[in-house]
Chain A
């Protein structure tokens, strides 16, 4: 009998994702990969995996999984999804061990939209074009290019580890929200001054047309300077197109590789993860930064992630103490935070 994690219910949009499929944009293949790379790293860090191992990325409502192997260890990083093991509520950002027959139910998040579930040792799924990242439109990655479906068995690459599971103490857990920062261009000159002002000053609401490919926004129309057709050129993760109706469309991990609408701006790489947590119906505001500033923000974000990974500690026993200790530690600054000694 094959063993692994059985998908009882897939949730709304659950796919296997890793760090993505670089190198094939020139052939029309999207990069794909986790919508929030920091969550990919944190989920994997919690179970002792390489930080880019494939995880289950979920949105809106997570999957229900049954352990059909002797034991495995899982951890959830991301929006606060309701999570339970055989009916008992579990803490996110903490690794948990499952035994054969255990039922892990991931509901919906109180806030935010997406999370990553990692399994210690990773999934035994063959990469396609160098990656396990699922791209459903081209049937790449995952299980035969498909999102998780009821009945799927996800084979695991290794048995559950025996050391103590890790947790990320609450003060170190990422929070979401705030403006989405952008670098203007590459076609900012395709818009009037009024159009640019509208884009940077007005709130925009995520519509229901939002998925891993991109999200359509609703709000005051942005005025083009001279038409809305350009000769198709390359698109990156975070490119903001403005089609003829004047409302922005942000292209994301699973986007087309080229497109023919003018791009007013690009979401900075450090804010793509926060953008991935915005739900349909919620509003965002855009703020412009210079390229050099965006690159400095990205470097700071990487230090922040390193600090979070360094803050992972064994779970269980004296939760209150470690929370207290870590909140003291936070005063010293997140960037320099290190895991405190659990026992003096």
Chain B
């Protein structure tokens, strides 16, 4: 028998983790997202919730409706997930005001990288990122695909509070905060007026694992105007469907 390509790790009596890898890897993450879609699509009673992460899929189940053995068989039946299922179908264009009061660490990060702040912005905004996972806080998007020149260690002294909507860099990752003041040790480079989480909105969440995100630099005046629109319930970020 060949290796199935994943390990099953029990998380108590009502969940298990399908671990595809222990490392961060875009191919692995695409497989996680494809497996997530396949299992959700199976529509099995007793499969309660799934949580796709960088390199594993957490599956919550009700053992009375879906015995563990049946869940294990269900996962095996959907492995490997089809390649095409992992293709991103949508891209968000997310406005960001970089630097100044909204990116307290931009100048230091640029100096550390031997770049100008403008070059950092151009590198950060000039590419598509993939949402590897949503976690830590509601709507917090962990993004993969950061230019290696922008990799920067976390702060030795994490901030107990960072501004709502912060766009930041931690190690080889970049991320977007929801409109909550979160504790964070990541380097702050900008802020988005878009609210990735708003329980009062018809669609409370903007981003989902597997989406693409592209940042678009805006100035302070645009940030203020879009912030007001966002508070009034507008999405502010633009959604593009991508042809599969």
Q: Does B68 contact A (CB under 8 A)?
A: yes
Check A28/B12 contact, CB under 8 A, given A129-B199, A233-B56, A295-B63.
no
Closest to B60 in A: A236
Distance, CA A39 to CA B110, complexed state (A): 55
Q: Does B240 contact A (CB under 8 A)?
A: no
Q: Which one, A128, A258, A267, contacts B133 given CB within 8 A?
A: A258
Q: Is the CB of B24 within 8 A of A295?
A: no
| Chain A residues within 8 Å of B, Cβ to Cβ | 22-29, 128-129, 137-140, 182-183, 185-187, 230-236, 238-239, 256-258, 263, 266-270, 291-292, 294-295, 297-299
Q: Does B148 contact A (CB under 8 A)?
A: no
Q: Which one, A129, A185, A258, contacts B51 given CB within 8 A?
A: A258
Q: Is the CB of A232 within 8 A of B53?
A: yes
Q: Does B116 contact A (CB under 8 A)?
A: no
Q: Is the CB of B58 within 8 A of A29?
A: no
Q: Is the CB of A29 within 8 A of B138?
A: yes
Grouping DSSP codes into helix (H, G, I), strand (E, B) and loop, the A interface class, with mixed when no group exceeds half, is mixed
Q: Is the CB of B9 within 8 A of A267?
A: no
Q: Which one, B13, B63, B137, contacts A28 given CB within 8 A?
A: B137
Q: Is the CB of B199 within 8 A of A185?
A: no
Q: Which one, A232, A234, A291, contacts B68 given CB within 8 A?
A: A291
Check A257/B49 contact, CB under 8 A, given A129-B199, A234-B56, A291-B10.
no
Check A257/B63 contact, CB under 8 A, given A26-B209, A129-B199, A183-B10.
no
Distance, CA A37 to CA B134, complexed state (A): 27
Closest to A25 in B: B51
- Taking the closest CB of chain B, its distance from the CB of A199, in whole angstroms, is 15
Q: Is the CB of A231 within 8 A of B23?
A: yes
Q: Is the CB of B136 within 8 A of A258?
A: yes
Among the stretches B14-22, B83-91, B95-103, the one at the interface with A is: B14-22
Closest to B7 in A: A186
| Contact partners of A270 in chain B: CB under 8 A | 13
Q: Which one, B54, B56, B134, contacts A26 given CB within 8 A?
A: B134
Q: Is the CB of A269 within 8 A of B50?
A: no
- Taking the closest CB of chain A, its distance from the CB of B70, in whole angstroms, is 13
- Write out, one digit per residue, whether chain B residues 181-222 have a CB within 8 A of any chain A CB (1) or not (0): 000000000000000010100001100110000000000000
| Contact partners of A24 in chain B: CB under 8 A | 138
Q: Does B139 contact A (CB under 8 A)?
A: yes
- Taking the closest CB of chain A, its distance from the CB of B165, in whole angstroms, is 15
- Write out, one digit per residue, whether chain B residues 125-145 have a CB within 8 A of any chain A CB (1) or not (0): 000000001111111101000
Q: Is the CB of B139 within 8 A of A294?
A: no
Distance, CA A185 to CA B49, complexed state (A): 19
Distance, CA A298 to CA B19, complexed state (A): 26
Chain B 8-60 interface residues, beta-carbon cutoff 8 Å to A: 9-17, 19, 22-24, 48-58, 60
Q: Is the CB of B10 within 8 A of A185?
A: yes
